[in-house]
Amino acid sequence: MSIDLASPLEIVDIIAAEDALVAPAVAAQREALAKAVDAGEQALRSGGRIIYAGAGTSGRLGVLDASEIPPTFGADVGLVVGIIAGGPAALLRAQEGAEDSAAGGARDLDTVNISACDFVVGIAASGTTPYVHGALQRAKEVGATTAMIACTPLPPATSGIIDIPIVIIVGPEVVTGSTRMKSGTATKLALNIISTGAMIRVGKTFGNLMVDLRATNAKLVDRSERIVAEVCELSRDAARALLQRADGLVKRAIVMHMLDVDAATADMALDASRGVIRRVLQQSPAALAQLQPGEPR
């Protein structure tokens, strides 16, 4: 209550102390988050998508997480989708009243052609946002699996539309009601777990390496070459040449080298293993042991 009288250092200490409560609160929802990872994997493997629906900060975090999936994991744009009350304009400026429309949430799901194969994650720190509830209700109507990330206990009426409740109790915000703070941090952590976990489960990594990344800039080109060089124990020049033969695809390049096959055969082997490179190679990425903790890849 006296934060407005605090020095800059005291403000930092107060906020940092409150933020330290977030990670344990997220970890307390480990079983629910594991169910969400599994639901995400099942959706992706059945031709569906992970769809986030939220308003305000919650919606922006969903859109952010969805936008980072293609470059990180080489996933198709649209495999993870974020919708926000008020549309794209709401990413930069609050759209007053948009979050109060349950019909708007249902309509926006219809716009992205919601199907029973999809996994829909509602995001609402308060747990009561009408837009989010409208989206989840529409998802249930078509047979999709649903989850909700909230930071307060959910009202009993939600039990019929939410398959996986993820309730992360972070306590009062430093600035009362400012859910962009602890609630926002908790939401970001939960989304990281759900999307990253689902991507790992469908084979987007080898060990902890991003073997399906898309080299869309110089940093990612360098990372691709480093990964191939490390895993295949090649020089940087040899790794670069191998990637050229693999059309820049890291996972394909690794399989080509390890099995001594051409690109088409490597793709066939990956398809047979449902995209999981470890099942193709039947070995762990031993070269990773040579990396120092924290070394950039």
Residue 258's domain is classified under what CATH number? 1.10.8.1080
Residues 125 and 246 in one domain: no
Q: What is the pLDDT of residue 297?
A: 38
**Residue 250, token pair as written in the block:** 């890291």
Q: What is the CATH number of the domain that holds 26?
A: 3.40.50.10490
The residue from 152, 174, 201 where one domain ends is: 201
Which of 18, 31, 41, 68 is an active site residue? 68
Give the C-alpha separation, 291 to 210, whole Å: 15
Of 85-99, 134-148, 219-233, the one with minimum mean pLDDT is 85-99
Q: 209 lies in a domain?
A: no
Residues 258 and 126 in one domain: no
Amino acid at 167: V
Q: 210 lies in a domain?
A: no
Q: What is the pTM of this model?
A: 0.88
Domain that holds residue 229: 218-290
Q: Percentage of residues in the chain with pLDDT exceeding 70?
A: 96
Q: What is the pLDDT of residue 74?
A: 85
**Residue 117, token pair as written in the block:** 């194969």
Q: Average pLDDT in the 127-148 region?
A: 96
Q: 70 lies in a domain?
A: yes
Flag whether pLDDT at 250 surpasses 60: yes
> Mean pLDDT, the chain, as a whole number?
91
Q: What is the pLDDT of residue 201?
A: 93
Q: Is 24 or 297 the better-scoring residue by pLDDT? A: 24
Q: 55 lies in a domain?
A: yes
Residues 91 and 184 in one domain: yes
Q: Average pLDDT in the 19-38 region?
A: 98
99 has catalytic annotation: yes
Flag whether pLDDT at 290 surpasses 80: no
Q: Average pLDDT in the 258-286 region?
A: 88
Flag whether pLDDT at 256 surpasses 80: yes
Of the pLDDT bands very low, low, confident and very high (cuts 50, 70, 90), residue 21 is: very high
Q: What is the pLDDT of residue 289?
A: 43
Q: 211 lies in a domain?
A: no
Which of 99, 173, 225, 230 is an active site residue? 99
pLDDT in tens, 169-226: 999 999 999 999 999 999 999 999 999 999 999 999 988 888 888 888 898 899 999 9
Residues 135 and 190 in one domain: yes
Residue 125 near residue 153 (C-beta atoms within 8 A): no
Of the pLDDT bands very low, low, confident and very high (cuts 50, 70, 90), residue 286 is: low
Flag whether pLDDT at 231 surpasses 60: yes
The structural domain count of the chain equals 2
**Residue 54, token pair as written in the block:** 């939220």
Q: Is 155 or 241 the better-scoring residue by pLDDT? A: 241
10 has catalytic annotation: no
Q: 265 lies in a domain?
A: yes
Q: 66 lies in a domain?
A: yes
